[in-house]
Amino acid sequence: MPLRNVLVVLGLLVMVASTASAAESGSALRVLGWSWFNLIVLLGVLYYFGRKAVPALMVVRRATVKNEIDQANQLLEEAESKFAQWQEKIEQLDQEVGEIRTASLDLAEAEKERILAQARQTAERIREEGKTSIARELENARSELRAEAADLAIEFAREILAQQVNDADRAKLLDGFVQGLESASTTEQRG
């Protein structure tokens, strides 16, 4: 603090002290007079020392406020720019989520169709295998029935022959069989 400013402050303190002592020793009019005098001196000193400092202070303050406003505007622009970027990213994210959802639904639908086609193929293969198996079993059953029917027919024929053919008929059949063999062997020898 410059020496001049220190002296001014000391002078002001002396005036305030003298006003206080005058108030103790004198009348109210005198106190009022000193108060006005002190006020005028104080305003004069403030004007004298402040006439150059206050405008300079105001210029500095104005520059500071303008700088702060410019910085605030710049920060606001940056915030708005970042906000716009985030909004764009959010919109892109919503679009990507929609695309992913659509792709997932398409993939799920394709997978469903693939599984259904595979199930249809499996069912058709099982159906064909069943038909083949049934046909095979049916053929086996027919063969078994034919064999059993043949066995039953032979057994039935044997019983009928046993009941209807007597010893004389058997002898005739045996003679006829032997003659058939002999004639077959004679024909072979000639040929």
pLDDT in tens, 29-64: 777 777 788 888 877 877 787 777 778 778 888 999
> For the chain, how long is the longest CA-to-CA vector?
190
DSSP state of 166: -
| Residue 5's pLDDT band (cuts 50, 70, 90) | low
Gap between the terminal Cα atoms of the chain = 161
Alpha-carbon span 67 to 75, nearest angstrom: 12
Residue 27 has a pLDDT of: 74
Place of tokens 């909004």: 87
CB 16 within 8 Å of CB 39:
no
8 exposed, middle or buried (CB, 10 Å; 0-12, 13-18, 19+)? middle
Better-scored residue on pLDDT, 130 or 188: 130
Please give the model's pTM, rounded to 2 decimal places: 0.36
Alpha-carbon span 77 to 31, nearest angstrom: 60
Phi, psi for 28 (deg, rounded to 5): -70, -35
Alpha-carbon span 95 to 99, nearest angstrom: 6
Nearest to 8 by CA among 49, 56, 57, 37: 49
Measured CA distances, 23 to 28, 43, 47 (Å): 7, 21, 27
Nearest to 34 by CA among 15, 14, 7, 62: 15
pLDDT digits (tens, 9 = 90+) for 101-154: 898 888 888 988 999 899 899 989 988 988 898 888 888 888 888 888 888 888
Q: Where are the domains of the chain?
A: 3-164
Residue 13 has pLDDT above 70, yes or no: no
pLDDT digits (tens, 9 = 90+) for 79-97: 999 999 998 888 888 888 8
Residue 20 has pLDDT above 60, yes or no: no
Residue 74 has a pLDDT of: 94
Residue 23 has pLDDT above 90, yes or no: no
User: DSSP string spanning 22-66?
Assistant: HHHHS-HHHHHHHHHHHHHHHHHHHHHHHHHHHHHHHHHHHHHHH
Better-scored residue on pLDDT, 96 or 10: 96
Q: Identify each DSSP E strand in the chain by its residue range.
A: none
